[in-house]
Amino acid sequence: MSSGDGALLKVVSVRDFVTRKGAGEKLVLTTAYDALFGRLVDEAGVDAILVGDSLGNVIAGHSSTLPVTLDDMIYHAMAVRRGVTRAMLIVDLPFLTYQVSAEQALENCGRVMRETGAQAVKMEGGGDDVLRAIRAVVGVGVPVMGHLGFTPQSVHAIGGFRVQGRSTADAERIVAQARKLEEAGVFALVLELLPSSLAAEVTSAVSVPTIGIGAGAACDGQVLVLHDLLGLNDRFTPKFLKRYASMADEVRSAVSDYRDDVRAGRYPDAEHSF
């Protein structure tokens, strides 16, 4: 891929993920849902960009990710693709688009890969239906990222947004599922809302990189929802979230300044008129 000035841009690949774990170098991921933010986070130097089905909450205003469709994901991933030249692009397969059968997983993953130019897809969970889907998709050469711990597509079964793996039985199940996901061929594993000690155990149990969100510092990398880390989504305040900006305040302040200027006849002035 060319940067435009003739220099070749090195696109981040799944091989880089594995190498980075071996070298002990942390991986950095954020979400993006459109071309503009895709370009900005790519220019900021993240390793990979996840078009997460969290867009159901963040962009569409739903209370869960369950209403998100494959067409929604494809629309947003195509937009992000137009802004991104270097980071790896990973797209979530939404609720019930991969668990029904291997054929369903292949067909829907095929649409995502053909229509969006993504390099990988992500699937949630570690049950038999998901393992079957992962084996099928990896078998045709598509990299798959796994996702354990709090899995938002199962929010109703889990009973809300809560830390997972607190009991010994749950912790053992999560470690066992991580091993099975590795055997099925995932190239990386998101660990969401886990005690730090359990995330550390999973991280040493598997050879693929773990990417934490609310899972402590021992993971091989971190992912945050962009709108959360920018402080745009200021009604979401989980303990794990560190805000690196207060953009909701910036937006409200800029728009109310604009409102006041228009109402007072200060905008547009001579400088901003033809």
Distance of CA 219 to the CA centre of its chain: 15
Q: Is 130 in the site for ligand KIV (CB under 6 A)?
A: no
Other CB atoms within a 10 A radius of the CB of residue 264 amount to 8
Ranges assigned E (strand) in the chain: 27-31, 48-51, 88-92, 120-122, 144-149, 188-192, 210-213, 221-224
- Measured CA to CA, the distance from residue 254 to residue 166 in angstroms comes to 44
State the minimum distance, in angstroms, from the CB of residue 214 to ligand KIV. Answer: 9
State the minimum distance, in angstroms, from the CB of residue 29 to ligand KIV. Answer: 8
Backbone CA torsion sign across 249, 250, 251, 255: positive
257: its two tokens: 């300044």
Strand 120-122 and strand 144-149: pairing?
Answer: parallel
Distance of CA 225 to the CA centre of its chain: 7
Q: Is 80 in the site for ligand KIV (CB under 6 A)?
A: no
Stretch that binds ligand KIV, among 52-60, 83-91, 105-113, 230-238 (CB under 6 A): 52-60
Q: Is 213 in the site for ligand KIV (CB under 6 A)?
A: yes
Catalytic residue among 182, 192, 250, 271: 192
Ranked by CB distance to ligand KIV, the top (closest) residue is: 52
Q: Is 225 in the site for ligand KIV (CB under 6 A)?
A: yes
Size of the site for ligand KIV (CB under 6 A): 10
**C-alpha radius of gyration, the chain, whole number:** 20
| Contact pick of 52, 209, 212, 221 for ligand KIV (by CB under 6 A) | 52
State the minimum distance, in angstroms, from the CB of residue 261 to ligand KIV. Answer: 36
Stretch that binds ligand KIV, among 46-54, 113-121, 178-186, 242-250 (CB under 6 A): 46-54
Q: Is 120 in the site for ligand KIV (CB under 6 A)?
A: no
| Contact pick of 175, 198, 223, 230 for ligand KIV (by CB under 6 A) | 223
- Catalytic residue list contains 192: yes
Q: What are phi and psi of 254, to 5 degrees?
A: -65, -45
State the minimum distance, in angstroms, from the CB of residue 106 to ligand KIV. Answer: 21
Backbone CA torsion sign across 115, 118, 120, 122: negative
Q: Which residues are catalytic?
A: 192
Residues near ligand KIV (CB under 6 A) are 31, 50, 52-54, 92, 190, 213, 223, 225
